[in-house]
Amino acid sequence: MRNRKGLIGAWMILLLATVANAADVAPTLTGSWQLEIVSPQGTRMPTMMLTQTGTQVTGTYRSMRGDVPIGGTIQGNEFALTVKISGQAGDSLTVEYKGRVTGDAVAGRVMMGPRGEANFTGKRVPST
């Protein structure tokens, strides 16, 4: 009986240590993300390839208009990213993403200047 209580106690300590370590893992934006933006102009599905170093985030934003640099910051699980997209008439549009990363999912708001705002969601694309 005594050995059984000791074994149960050891398992409880191991379980608590595992849960504590899982909670200490900081969220990361590093990786490829497939986004979905639903706006009055329609649904868009851009991709972001991001690298996070500390609180700084850099990478490439891929949309139907091509690839452009993207950058921003992350604090805890809250992030803010900015990308400048060239328009068809030679103009540019600054797009700002503000959201939250939870594991392999992101969600938040995207501000598209004069084109308004919309919600976005996204999932991390598994590396191959």
Measured CA to CA, the distance from residue 71 to residue 99 in angstroms comes to 14
What pTM does this model have?
0.77
Spell out the residues 6+ positions from residue 19 whose beta carbon is closer than 8 angstroms to its own: none
Contact between 86 and 65 (Cβ < 8 Å): yes
Residue 14 has what pLDDT?
56
Segment holding 79, helix H or strand E: strand 78-86
Report how far apart, in Å, the C-alpha atoms of 26 and of each of 89, 99, 102, 107, 124 are.
Answer: 42, 16, 10, 17, 16
Residue 65 has what pLDDT?
83
Please state the domain extents for the chain. 26-125
Q: 32-64 pLDDT, tens per residue?
A: 999 999 988 889 999 999 999 999 999 999 998
Q: Which CATH class is domain 26-125?
A: mainly beta
